[in-house]
Amino acid sequence: MNNMKNFFSLLLITLSLASPSVSQEKTAAKIDTIMPVRGFCIASPQPDNLDKFLRFIKEELAPRNVNTLILRIDYNYQYTSHPELRDSNALSEKDVKMLVSVCRSCNIRIIPQVNLLGHQSWAGTTGNLLKAYPGFDETPLVKMPDKYVWPNADGLYCKSYCPLHPEVHDVVFAVVDEICDVFEADAFHAGMDEVFYIGDKQCPRCSGRDPAELFAAEVRTIRDHLALNGRTLWIWGDRLLDGKTTGLGEWEASFNNTHRAVDMIPRDVIICDWHYERPDQTPVYFAMKGLSVVTCPWRMPENAVLQANDMVKFRNHSTDEMRERFLGMVQTVWSGSEQFLNSYYGIRKEESPNTAVHCFKALFDEIARLAK
Ligand SMILES: [Zn+2]
């Protein structure tokens, strides 16, 4: 009798232990089916903010089933290949290994980002690459203003490097390889968004060339370099969309004739398709071109929820060929990571409902709901 009682007790314990894990597994399988990439993109933390950031990964990203972390590094790392490019206060190898270890324990894939081609300056400040190597500047005649305003006579948003400069890739690829190695990464994000300066008529190498061909050639060069180490290239999608015909404008799409590059770049480049003000349906365009795509919201929770639902719909209503190109969603954050965490943890008060913090929460609540 006692044995029988013990048997039933054991059975009950086994069942009560088994049922949550079975349902968790089901949810995990469903979430991977509806949304394979569940991403978060943010500037890498400063060294003195690392602990708070690691806690955020463990306590906020992991429980929400985030599985991809795009970390914008640029020169926030103590590069040994090019120490002259380091920020003055940059992450050490030990800091990075802590990020790698925490993300690995949370099943989060880290994709480091260093802006290539465009975004080599910001407002009135030149970035580290062009500061150390002014010869790489696509538009050396455009001087950085004391007081930056947009619009301005030079059409200066951000500087670009010249993709045809004979020495530029030796420098940037050393940096790319080093950052991918230290992060033990199998993918790299090269940025490449909002490139306004390309094929400048004053550039002795680029003038007169087709901007679409120049852009596509740079994508291919970076992609081929990464492929040597089995790594995949991710880029922002805006230069591949026609801003005029679509009405998407000159920021989230191209007004400078780069958009035909969509047919010239290798098909294994992953497109991060960002639309912050409207839930545009452009993922379909990329998927029909044979390119895999993630949708990236920023600060409008309602749009992010619509975009997540669209992503699921695209996967459900597509051919077998196209379905797997709709990879998922990546929440983007464009403040510094410390600023974001201060808002997230209520240290800094948020005035508007339209912020990256609210958008992040709404997006991942919706993904969890869709996966039930
Ligand atoms: Zn050039």
Contacts of 326 (CB under 8 A, 6+ apart): 283, 287, 292, 293, 311, 314, 315, 318
**Residue 230 buriedness (CB in 10 A; 0-12 / 13-18 / 19+):** exposed
* Pairing assessment for the beta strands 121-122 and 125-126 based on DSSP bridges: antiparallel
How far does residue 25's CA lie from ligand 1's centre (Å)?
A: 52
Residues 90/103, Cβ–Cβ less than 8 Å: no
Distant-in-sequence contacts of 348-354, Cβ < 8 A, 24+ apart: 353/301, 354/299, 354/300, 354/301
Angle of CA points 37, 176, 49, to nearest 5°: 70
Sign of the Cα pseudo-torsion (130, 135, 139, 141, in order) = positive
Determine the Cα–Cα distance for residues 28 and 33; give it in Å rounded to an integer: 9
How far does residue 242's CA lie from ligand 1's centre (Å)?
A: 22
Residues 361/331, Cβ–Cβ less than 8 Å: no
Residues, Cβ < 5 Å to ion ligand 1: 138, 162, 164, 203, 205-206
How far does residue 209's CA lie from ligand 1's centre (Å)?
A: 9
Determine the Cα–Cα distance for residues 218 and 179; give it in Å rounded to an integer: 19
Question: What are the pLDDT tens digits along the chain (372 aa)?
Answer: 445 555 445 544 444 444 557 777 777 789 999 999 999 999 999 999 999 999 999 999 999 999 999 999 999 999 999 999 999 999 999 999 999 999 999 999 999 999 999 999 999 999 999 999 999 999 999 999 999 999 999 999 999 999 999 999 999 999 999 999 999 999 999 999 999 999 999 999 999 999 999 999 999 999 999 999 999 999 999 999 999 999 999 999 999 999 999 999 999 999 999 999 999 999 999 999 999 999 999 999 999 999 999 999 999 999 999 999 999 999 999 999 999 999 999 999 988 999 999 999 999 999 999 999
pLDDT value at position 34? 96
Determine the Cα–Cα distance for residues 177 and 50; give it in Å rounded to an integer: 23
Give the number of other CB atoms < 10 A from CB of residue 315.
Answer: 20
How far does residue 266's CA lie from ligand 1's centre (Å)?
A: 22
How far does residue 288's CA lie from ligand 1's centre (Å)?
A: 31
Running DSSP on this structure, what letter comes out for residue 23?
H
Q: Which two tokens stand for residue 74?
A: 């640029």
The closest alpha carbon to 272, from 354, 359, 190, belongs to: 190
How far does residue 202's CA lie from ligand 1's centre (Å)?
A: 8
How far does residue 108's CA lie from ligand 1's centre (Å)?
A: 38
